[in-house]
Copies of this chain bind each other. A is one copy, B any other.
Amino acid sequence: MRIGILGSGSVGQTLANKLLTLGHEITLGSRSGSNQTGSAWAQAAGPHGQNGTFADAAEFGELVINATLGTGALAALEAAGAKALAGKVLVDVCNPLVFAEDGTLSLDPVNTDSVGEQIQRAFPDTRVVKALNTLSAPVMVDPTRVPGRHQLFIAGEDAGAKQEVVALLESFGWPGADIVDLGGIQAARSLEMLMPFWVNLWRHYGHTDFNYSFQIGG
């Protein structure tokens, strides 16, 4: 499948490398098509990976992944263009993190809105699915880094889009039974609001190879 990835940082590259090993064709998009990180990635990636602008990546992808910084996500998607994104599944991986000078984390938007919802409102013809924003990039593409059963969470308005995303996540090694559908895109609020807790756990454990695992009674 042709997949466009917006954002050439570590999350975008980690997803891109995994998708290449699964036989997909990737365009990694950055603000500038001559972005150094993107170009270096494409050179190493071989014939099935190329880099370009956000618009190049969005046009290229049959499915598009938003792996930009959350606070710049809307600008990146505007640059990609509504036409290039229309009708497509957009997997929104980002979190709107704002770090103060003293290291304190807050989110913007938060509480009564989320980046996932902002994107769905701004691009009504795009089928947005919030996914993968609750864990580190290495674990996203290799759930065996964390022992035992542990869960992923998705949210979105389009049931068919969610099915496609579940299939993609299963191809990464996630058991379907551990992918929890929290409902419509409004649930993206609750998923993005996990991030301050996740950062505190990272500081507590000293690494990011951990994930939510729900033990269920009743």
* One of B186, B196, B209 near A217 (C-beta < 8 A): B209
Complex contact B213–A214 (CB within 8 A): yes
Interface residues on A, range: 35 or more
- B218 near A205: Cβ-Cβ < 8 Å: yes
For the complex, is A47 an interface residue (Cβ under 8 Å from B)?
no
Is the pair A146, B216 in contact by a Cβ cutoff of 8 Å?
yes
- Point out the residue from B111, B204, B205, B209 that lies within 8 Å of A111, measured CB to CB: B111
- CB of A178, distance to nearest CB on chain B (Å): 11
A201 CA to B200 CA, complexed, in Å: 21
| A187 interface hit (Cβ, 8 Å) | yes
1/0 per residue A136-175: CB within 8 Å of B?
0001000001111110000000000000000000000000
Contacts of A21 in B (CB 8 A): none
The docked-state distance in angstroms from the alpha carbon of A180 to that of B196 is 15
- Interface class of chain A by DSSP: mixed
Give every chain B residue within 8 A of A204 (Cβ-Cβ).
180-183
Chain A, 74-105, CB within 8 A of any chain B CB: 104
Measured CB to CB, the residues of A under 8 A from B are 104, 106-107, 110-112, 139, 145-150, 180-183, 186-187, 189-191, 193-194, 196-197, 199-201, 203-205, 207-218
Since A148-B215, A211-B214 are in contact, a sample of 7 more A-B pairs with Cβ atoms closer than 8 Å, ordered by chain A residue number, is A110-B111, A190-B197, A193-B194, A193-B196, A208-B218, A210-B218, A213-B213
Closest 7 CB pairs of A and B: A209-B217, A209-B218, A190-B196, A190-B197, A207-B218, A146-B217, A148-B215
